[in-house]
Chains A and B, each alone.
Chain A
């Protein structure tokens, strides 16, 4: 920038904003307890130009359906969302996902509760794209009762509800380890180095080296070969964890690709607009001492 005073001011503004931003980024990291830092899943949607990998989303949905959906609901999701733009079963031929035959077929595979329109009794029927994802339990009490008192959380926005997002989910699922000797584990709890928590009260070893992580009520949910992939991807815990983390990232932020694309256009426009306005400003002030 040409004008001396202005460059100082602008950098101060940016510095202040950066300080505020940095403040916010750093603070939560300390707050999440002594958990190990999550590994990067190398996701296709990372970065300002990231997009979802449709194949990965399809595999992720399969893992969710076959493994996770038994206990974890996704009550913000409807079956029609599977056919949304940038979603796992998006087909440009069917801009309205309710018409998408794959989506209709996937919905039909699931039974959802309903009320008989004639007798008023509770029935089970095939799901349609308009239905929400099937809830594994009829209510929160049943969910907790069926899982040792801890209800499995809803996964719809889980990538936004945890620091580290998809990287954290992937690291957690793939990161179960045998607990180090000297760690006292209660019945029904499992050790995971990526789970936030403080293990000091349960550690009988060297107090300077408390193991990272915490206890999670969920036992390791993934095993090698558990889900069949028909696109040749490796059927390993590592791959399942990445794929389902990507799927959860998509359910958490279905508009992410649109958002980043719009952002690109907006920022380019604003830069040009800034240039034009600056030139206009200089023209107006030309020859005027200030």
Chain B
């Protein structure tokens, strides 16, 4: 019924494979993509989320052998003051963890006793407990990952060492994170 409704002695049915129809169809597809992109991109982090808020922290707050937890970009950050014994242990072990890293690669020279890491287990994001586990660092209770006192993954399902964020010493006793 569709075809017989057309009265056309000369042309016959419009050939669906005519180039112009393909061209118009391609333009429609292009328009569709041009419309879809902003709708998808708007869910990406907005400019204010991307604006790295930095926080400053006074290291005199951390006792030797202790850690302080601060909140940065919505996540916990561990600032740990390692004892000389702990420090010696992690340094002499050399490059371990995943990827293998020395303790020196994870601290700033002149301030090796302080370790700043994001306190989020690299497995599925739980917060590891301090001074627990087999390596004297942290232990994640969720699935049993063990980190050493340099935050390197030594045992368990976590794929990576605890992340060291961007930070700098604004003075001998103050750090700015982010």
Q: B-contacting residues of A (Cβ < 8 Å)?
A: 78, 80, 84, 96, 98, 117-118, 128-130, 266, 269, 272-273, 276-277, 279-280, 283-284, 286-289
CB <8 Å contact, B14 and A283: yes
CB <8 Å contact, A78 and B48: yes
Q: How far is the CA of A275 from the CA of B20 in the complex (A)?
A: 10
Q: How far is the CA of A288 from the CA of B30 in the complex (A)?
A: 30
CB <8 Å contact, B31 and A269: yes
Interface flag for B6 (CB, 8 Å)? yes
CB <8 Å contact, A287 and B10: yes
Q: How far is the CA of A287 from the CA of B10 in the complex (A)?
A: 7
Q: A-contacting residues of B (Cβ < 8 Å)?
A: 6-11, 14, 18, 20-21, 23-24, 27-28, 30-31, 34, 47-48, 50-56, 58, 61
Which residues of chain A are near B8, meaning CB under 8 Å?
286-288
| Residue in B7, B11, B30, B61 whose CB lies within 8 Å of A286 | B11
Which residues of chain B are near A276, meaning CB under 8 Å?
20, 23-24, 27
Which residues of chain A are near B34, meaning CB under 8 Å?
266, 269
Known: A98-B52, A129-B51, A288-B7. 19 other contacts (CB 8 A): A80-B51, A84-B47, A96-B50, A117-B55, A118-B61, A128-B54, A130-B54, A269-B34, A273-B30, A273-B31, A276-B20, A277-B24, A279-B20, A279-B24, A280-B18, A280-B23, A283-B20, A283-B21, A288-B6
Residue with the greatest number of chain A CB neighbours at <10 A, chosen from B6, B8, B27, B54: B27
Q: A269-B31, A272-B27 are in contact. Are A289 and B48 (CB under 8 A)?
A: no
